Amino acid sequence: MLALRLLNVVAPAYFLCIALVTLVLQLFLFLPRMREDPTAARLFSPALLHGALFLFLSTNALGNYVLVIQNSPDDLDACQGAEARRALCPPPSTHFCRVCARVTLRHDHHCFFTGNCIGSRNMRNFVLFCLYTSLACLYSMVAGVAYISAVLSISFAHPLAFLTLLPTSISQFFSGAVLGSEMFVILMLYLWFAIGLACAGFCCHQLLLILRGQTRHQVRKGVAVRARPWRKNLQEVFGKRWLLGLLVPMFNVGSESCKQREK
């Protein structure tokens, strides 16, 4: 239990460090390199478009990250009293998390990178956090590849060029042909690639469970769920203002099914 609580502190710190390093590289390395292009138009310059897109992706990723932490899935506010808990929130949909030391309504899993449980109130923000983190990492990797290609005059036209970049760069780094800053960017490329793919896979898996009306906790426990149309399952998590939630980080205020039962 002590190791889990320690991981609950280290993992968010690790994510915030990666986010800070990515922001610094984008602002002080990639963007200045794009501004040096003399042929670029002033109104729609690559630097301006790149900065706007990265700002949009990073704002949504960090905004939903904060909302996942703030919007606690504690079931005490949604279902008050023992009788209400038995009537509105059946035991299979609740779970007591030992790390958080609280009961979660429609528990899915405990996310160590946010230090919080994922349940009915923050599921939408968690899925969007995974989506925009994946996009931000993969986009940063593309910008980093363009930077390395221009600085080191490396062509990535061959499919295996990215895979052989790291071992080749390590040997050139010890021989003095590659600077420390350039080697650091190359290492970040592989880190962005790994995090981007992991978040994309987790996001797709989570969306599949949402369409089925299931949670990871229910799948692990073998709990059978009532078959419902996928549109209702999707609306229960993302709500009616799902398009606005894709553009701007917004609170996900509880479960629609619990609200309907309260009425």
What pLDDT does residue 45 have? 75
Q: Which residues contact 114 (CB under 8 A, 6 or more apart)?
A: 12, 65, 68, 69, 126, 129
C-alpha radius of gyration, the chain, whole number: 22
Average pLDDT (82-89) is 44
- CA-closest candidate to residue 256, choices 242, 235, 241: 235
Average pLDDT (208-233) is 88
- CA-closest candidate to residue 116, choices 68, 51, 178: 68
Average pLDDT (88-102) is 70
Residue 214 has which token pair? 């299931």
Q: What confidence category does residue 84 fall into, taking pLDDT thresholds of 50, 70 and 90?
A: very low
Q: Please report, in angstroms and rounded to a whole number, the separation of the first and last CA atoms in the chain.
A: 40
User: How buried is residue 122: exposed, middle or buried, by Cβ count under 10 Å (0-12/13-18/19+)?
Assistant: buried
Please write the tens of the pLDDT for every residue from 152-168. 888 888 878 898 999 99
pTM: 0.86
Secondary structure letter of residue 219 according to DSSP: H
Average pLDDT (163-184) is 92
Please write the tens of the pLDDT for every residue from 97-151. 888 887 878 889 999 999 999 988 889 999 999 999 999 999 999 999 999 998 9
User: Helices 230-238 & 123-152, crossing angle to 10 degrees?
Assistant: 80
Three-class SS state of 157: coil
What pLDDT does residue 258 have? 44
Flag whether pLDDT at 36 surpasses 90: no
What are the catalytic residues? 111
Flag whether pLDDT at 259 surpasses 70: no
What pLDDT does residue 239 have? 83
- CA-closest candidate to residue 219, choices 231, 237, 205: 205
The DSSP string of 58-119 is HHHHHHHHHHHHHS--BTTTTS-SHHHHHHHS-GGGEEEETTTTEEEET--EEETTTTEEE-
